[in-house]
Amino acid sequence: MRDMKVGRRDFLALGMTGAAALFAYGLLRDQGSGVLLRPPGAQDEAAFATRCLRCGECVRACLTQCLEPAGKGFGAARLWTPRFNPALGKCEFELCGRACAQACPVGAIREPDDADVRIGTAAVTRSKCIAWNEGKACLVCYERCSYAAIEIDSRGRPRVLADKCTGCGACQNTCVTCPDPAIMVYSPGAAPLEGGGNNRRGN
């Protein structure tokens, strides 16, 4: 009788430990597939996923509230890590004093110089852009960009200069085709090519 009782209680505790280990192993396997924008200073994705405690301090600290905890779509290994979502706000990394990095209790978010910040790169999806697609006059992204990273050609169509773009998200945040913005920020090195030249094909 005694052995049975003890065995069952041990079994419960061991089972829970085992389940935790299996859960952790599952985290290793599930890296997800979505592309996740990070706050400035957290672009080293592998190191960041290890360091981040998912405490949510950066999400709370962000002055423009442009961060949110990453949901299930980004893989269990990155669950609840901070996701920079330009739809929520622009990243004001030059003005906010790097509130997210200051708030991070484990130093997972570093503080690169302003000139070195590359959250990602914006790119125009021409099929959605009203300047490209419908020939309308729209200079919103061009006017909102603080880094002169968008040039307008002779027909008023925007093009991103990737070497100047910091990925701050101002253009995506204000694009008039929201909620399906024609100009979006992509992870560093993951931006689709916009296509060359000024020759508009089709319409």
Partner 1 sequence: MKKQRRRAVHWVRRAVQLAFIALFVASAWAAAWPPNATLDENFFLRVDPLAGITAAWESGLWLYLLPAWILLGLTALSGRFFCGWICPLGSAVEMLPSLESRRARKISRLRPRDIFGRTIRADDRRIRLKYVFLGILLLLFSLGINAIWIFDPLVVANRAVIFVLLGGVPFVFIALVVLAVVVGPRFWCQEMCPLGACLSLASMAGSRLPAAASPLALVKDEGACTHCGKCACACPFGITEVADSRKTGRLFMADCALCGECVAACPEKGALSLRALGAPLLGSGKAREGQEGLEGAITCET
Q: By CB under 8 A, is residue 102 in contact with partner 1?
A: yes
User: Which residue is listed with tokens 């905890």?
Assistant: 69
Q: By CB under 8 A, is residue 28 in contact with partner 1?
A: yes
d(CA 142, CA 152): 7
Q: By CB under 8 A, is residue 19 in contact with partner 1?
A: no
Structure tokens at 47: 């190191």
Nearest CB to partner 1, comparing residues 108 and 165? 108
- Find the binder of partner 1 among 36, 37, 42, 59 (CB under 8 A): 59
**Side-chain half-sphere CA neighbours of 190 within 13 A:** 15
Q: From its phi and psi, is residue 62 left (phi > 0), alpha (psi between -120 and 50) or beta?
A: beta
- 69: which strand partners? 82
Q: By CB under 8 A, is residue 23 in contact with partner 1?
A: yes
Instruction: Please report, as ranges, the residues that interact with partner 1 according to CB under 8 A.
Output: 1-2, 5-6, 9-10, 13-14, 16-17, 20-21, 23-24, 27-28, 46-47, 49-57, 59-63, 65, 68-69, 77, 80, 96-97, 99, 102-103, 105-108
